[in-house]
Amino acid sequence: MRRGTAFVTLLLLAALAPREAAAGPALVIELSNNKVLYAEDADSPWYPASLTKIMTAYLVFEALKAGKLDLNTRIPCSAAANAQPPSKIGVAVGNELTVNVALNALIIKSANDAAVMLAEAVAGSEAAFVAQMNATAKRLGMERTVFVNPNGLPAPNQVTTARDLAKLARAVLKDFPEYEYLWAKPEMRLGKSRMVTHNGLLRSFEGADGMKTGFTCDSGFNVVATASRDGRRIIAVVLGDHSSGERNVRAASLLEYGFQQHGWKQLFSSTTLDNMPLATAAAVKSVRNDVTSWGCNERKVRAAKAGAKKRTAKASKKKKPGTEEAAKAAPITVEVAPEGGDGTPATVQLRGTTPPPAAASFQQQ
């Protein structure tokens, strides 16, 4: 192992030491050959939250391909769709959206009402659509996934795994490349409203081009993230982080690790998404008591905010005149000396304020 690579691994281990046991499942694959580059608890059941909407979008894409709908088809908002809790766009009962606008709202805004509107347009009812979701999951080999609704709102029996989500992401990208642009859009406009994606990697990680985030109190902060560089595409699945910031930095570090695994390194591993041994089934976990979010664990949120205020006040007292701009412009940068090639270090820049809290030391699986 070269010096730069060892340094990054030690940095990640040091960052993770106090919370390693709390880290959720993670999986990294290369899309072109399905090689597993990193896996941790990839078959452990987890609540998908709004990652459910990736399957909802997949079934809408199928309906578009079959000619059942087109992007300009206008679909109505039912009372059931209108009654969905946030995140939503707030369409009134009887009002209509085009399929195109509803898809954008589903993926970018993560709108729960748009998910039900699309489900009813595709299958006639939400229940019929959920049946299609489960049939499609079975066809795609998502062995431990069960869907109960089309938007990922809390439901005890709605579960998935990191492996199953990677299979779904693979299917979306390979079966419907014509809709890839939707996953990469950072924002949308609906009337005078500007709606911004929850996927912060689209703005902060080089090559990021999709896909979807999810959050409930029990699931924690989830993301399926994709990025492309030099003709390669990496998919990372991260589940159960305690804040959106931790989720983004952990996903960024996993994607970066994936890109550092050059082709010759993969020759030493024959593990793919499909032949990786299936782990023993376990009970689904909740991270409600660990997440930092109002409505889930308010005591932790208050403690975190109080701690942040104290640190800010302490830093302000110590800050010297003229140092403010320098402090703002200091991302975390490490150099990774690749094994092989001309030995030129690759710069890994992470925009978080702490070393990346990855799931464990990065070892090829």
What residues are labeled active site?
A: 50, 53, 110
**The amino acid at 344:** T
Nearest residue to 175 (alpha-carbon basis) of 58, 298, 76: 58
Structure tokens, 199: 């996927």
Peptide bond into 87 cis (omega under 30): yes
